[in-house]
């Protein structure tokens, strides 16, 4: 079976973890700080705060900006549930703006229509490894005095206008094992704002800067040194991982070219695509997925149900009609793209997909 995702972990990660375990210092410590410094430098941000997950990074980003009850945050309905749920956690209301049909990212024109006097922030998602339209989004934010919190959980190292994602507003990254780099579970908040960075670090540790002095309400959302050293090794390999993903994408796109039932992913001018997913729009999507499964090729549908149609959002009285997202949910299929694929694997994927559409 060619899996849809596979973390690349080697001897360096194992040795680094062994060293931390041997030291006996296994909670948040000096390695977390080292990882924060390395990650902030990588993204071109002044500050970074390591946390327990991408979800925690989103949640803390909102809280650090003071977003809560009575506030509205405009976000994408075509994402992992964590994006919108992080807004719910704070008591604020997620407001969904439909997406662009080519990048699957939030559509700036649709954002504009959703702004009300209660809107405090925009939370774009850089889906599949491709930046949202940050030029337009930052302009809307500036014009309307809104905060921007970027869900960069799928886009480590992706660029827009020569700047890395996560450095436009406050960034949130995930290091879950299927992401472009991993720490096992883990996340990172990035910012140029010293006050936000300090607040984030307090919120992750029970609102405390000085031990046993709790200034604000916080949580336990820390990262461990065990996770941080995995992250340090993985960050050193990230550009190589990304190059391998991009090369695999080129091979797939070349191989799938000309198939009438398939629309390959696009990379917009002024953007780099880091291909967290290689996602096509596919005619007879579910049949194709079943056919590929028979051929031992794993695929994924990210995401089959837009967030506004999830049961918990229906329960919250969400009744939006967001046609571009709803259509995408029925048509998208992600093919394996991770760096561990061999050229034989890639040829298999192309061959099987061609075979499916040529059969009938
Ligand atoms: C993975 C992911 C998250 C959540 O990250 P976790 O580390 O799993 O909490 C949030 N948003 C998007 C778009 C993701 O892909």
Domain definitions of the chain by residue range: 11-233, 238-358
Confidence band (pLDDT; 50, 70, 90) for 359? Answer: confident
> What does the pLDDT average to over 73-84?
98
Burial class (CB in 10 A: 0-12, 13-18, 19+), 211: exposed
Is any ligand 1 atom within 6 A of the Cβ of residue 55? yes
Position 33 pLDDT exceeds 70:
yes
DSSP 276-287: SSEEEEETTHHH
Q: What is the mean pLDDT of residues 332-345?
A: 97
CATH number of 238-358: 3.90.1150.10
Quick check: pTM over 0.95? yes
Q: Are 134 and 123 in contact (CB under 8 A)?
A: no
From the CA of 82, how far away is ligand 1's center (Å)? 6
The answer, yes or no, to whether residue 122 has pLDDT greater than 80, is yes
Ligand 1 centre and the CA of 80: distance in Å? 6
Calculate how far, in angstroms, residue 54's C-alpha sits from the geometric centre of ligand 1. 5
282: confidence class by pLDDT, cuts 50, 70, 90: very high
- Render pLDDT for 39-63 as a digit per residue (tens, 0 to 9): 999 999 999 999 999 999 999 999 9
Q: Whole-angstrom Cα distance, residue 263 to residue 279?
A: 9
Please name every residue paired with 160 in a beta bridge, in sequence order, or none if there are none: 163, 271
Q: Options 3.90.600.10, 1.25.40.80, 3.30.750.24, 3.40.640.10; which CATH number does 11-233 get?
A: 3.40.640.10
Model confidence at 360: pLDDT above 80: no
Spatial neighbors of 19 by CB under 8 A, at least 6 apart, are 229
């Amino acid at each position: 079976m060619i899996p849809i995702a596979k973390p690349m972990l080697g001897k360096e990660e194992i040795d680094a973890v062994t060293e931390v375990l041997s030291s006996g210092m296994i909670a948040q410590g000096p390695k977390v700080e080292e990882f924060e410094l390395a990650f902030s430098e990588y993204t071109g941000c002044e500050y970074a705060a390591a946390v327990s997950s991408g979800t925690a990074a989103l949640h803390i980003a909102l809280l650090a900006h003071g977003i809560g009850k009575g506030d509205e945050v405009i976000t994408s309905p075509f994402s992992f549930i964590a994006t919108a749920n992080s807004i719910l956690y704070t008591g604020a209301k997620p407001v969904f703006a439909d997406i662009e049909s080519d990048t699957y990212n939030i559509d700036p024109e649709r954002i504009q229509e959703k702004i009300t006097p209660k809107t405090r922030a925009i939370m774009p998602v850089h889906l599949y490894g491709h930046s949202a339209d940050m030029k337009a989004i930052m302009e809307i934010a500036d014009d309307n005095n809104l905060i921007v919190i970027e869900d960069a959980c799928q886009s480590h190292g992706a660029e827009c206008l020569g700047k890395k994602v996560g450095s436009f507003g406050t960034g949130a990254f995930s290091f879950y094992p299927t992401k472009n780099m991993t720490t096992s579970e883990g996340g990172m908040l990035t910012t140029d704002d010293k006050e936000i960075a300090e607040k984030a670090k307090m919120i992750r540790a029970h609102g405390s800067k000085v031990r046993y002095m709790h200034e604000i309400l916080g949580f336990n959302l820390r990262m461990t040194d065990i996770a941080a050293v995995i992250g340090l090794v993985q960050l050193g390999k990230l550009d190589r991982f990304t190059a391998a993903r991009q090369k695999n994408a080129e091979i797939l796109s070349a191989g799938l070219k000309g198939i009438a039932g398939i629309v390959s992913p696009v990379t917009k001018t002024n953007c780099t695509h880091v291909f967290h997913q290689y996602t096509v729009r596919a005619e007879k999507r579910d049949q194709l997925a079943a056919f590929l499964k028979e051929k031992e090729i794993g695929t994924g549908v990210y995401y089959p149900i837009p967030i506004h149609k999830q049961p918990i959002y229906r329960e919250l009285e969400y009744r939006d009609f967001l046609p571009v997202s709803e259509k995408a949910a029925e048509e998208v299929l992600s093919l394996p793209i991770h760096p561990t694929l061999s050229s034989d694997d890639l040829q298999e994927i192309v061959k099987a997909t061609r075979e499916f559409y040529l059969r009938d």
